[in-house]
Amino acid sequence: MHKRSIEFQVVRPRRLYEQVADHVRELVLDGTFPPGSALPPERELAEIIGVSRPSIREALIALEVMGLVESRQGGGNYVRADAGGLRMIPLSKGRDLGPGPIEQFEARRTIELTCAKLAAQRATPEDVLDLEQCLVRMKDLVARDVSPAAEHRCFHMTLANISQNQIFASAVAELWRVRDGKLWDTLRQKVDNKESWQLGIKFRAQLIHAIRNGNPAAAVAIMSDHFDRIGELYFGLAPQSDKTSREE
């Protein structure tokens, strides 16, 4: 009696942004949005498909990475003129772009607020000096009109390590690793500029001040404000901060 070998294929759940992206892809294929045409504004497209505006933004970023959609200077998203000749495989069956940026953002916000609180409770003078040196390097890069992206990561990783919680530190490291993927890279190009860098420097200086003074409530409030700004800038998300909780 021969045993027949059976191959199992693991099927991962379809992410929401993949489902939305595939829906837009189908609208291109059926001629609703032909090659070269402008897509409706995000708010209108969200109403057409029946999802939130941030989910539309994630899907459009994915379609831009896949080469179906292009974002033009001056605003607006367009179906690429050569879309008719592209091999448009459903996103969930083709290249895996990983968890959506909003999912990653939500995880980072939750973990890094706790890291900020613990850092303010546990930081040594040497830890504060490490953060200050990172900030000095960031200021130098921005003064030379060079993106401080590498120092952004260094600052957040240093903060996570100061929390003295290895699980949080490992999670932050992984979240920043996936942040180097194509989805975030495409998204970052749309909003990364000197003004944003300066705001990032201001946030870090305030956070260092709270940590140096051993003020966990202020550290959490400052970090929360930072994530509010990033969430609105990148995804149009409403602020979540409770301003009354801050203690200076």
pLDDT digits (tens, 9 = 90+) for 146-187: 999 889 999 999 999 999 999 999 999 999 988 887 888 888
Residues 84-94 pLDDT 10s: 665 555 565 65
The amino acid at residue 196 is: S
> What integer pLDDT is reported at residue 237 of this predicted model?
83
* Every domain of the chain and the residues it spans: 16-93, 101-245
Q: What is each CA distance from 93 to 15, 21, 25, 88, 225, in whole angstroms?
A: 12, 12, 13, 10, 38
> Read out DSSP for 148-197?
-HHHHHHHHHHHHHHTT-HHHHHHHHHHHHHTTSHHHHHHHHHH-SHHHH
Which of 2-6, 42-46, 81-85, 126-130 is the most confident on average? Answer: 126-130
> What integer pLDDT is reported at residue 242 of this predicted model?
55
> What integer pLDDT is reported at residue 13 of this predicted model?
63
Determine whether 177 is exposed, middle or buried from the number of CB atoms within 10 Å of its CB (0-12, 13-18, 19+): exposed
- In the CATH hierarchy, which fold is given to the domain comprising 101-245? Four Helix Bundle (Hemerythrin (Met), subunit A) (1.20.120)
CATH number of 16-93: 1.10.10.10
> Read out DSSP for 51-74?
S-HHHHHHHHHHHHHHTSEEEPTT
Q: What is each CA distance from 65 to 58, 80, 118, in whole angstroms?
A: 11, 12, 37
> What stretch of H or E contains 206?
helix 194-212
**Among candidates 131, 129, 106, 126, which has minimal Cα distance to 116?**
131
pLDDT > 50? residue 234:
yes
**Among candidates 178, 207, 199, 228, which has minimal Cα distance to 115?**
207
- Residues whose CB falls within 8 Å of the CB of residue 88, separated by 6 or more in sequence, listed in order: 25, 28, 29, 68
What's the pTM value of the predicted model, to 2 decimals?
0.79
Which DSSP state fits 6? -
Q: Which residue has the higher pLDDT, 4 or 109?
A: 109
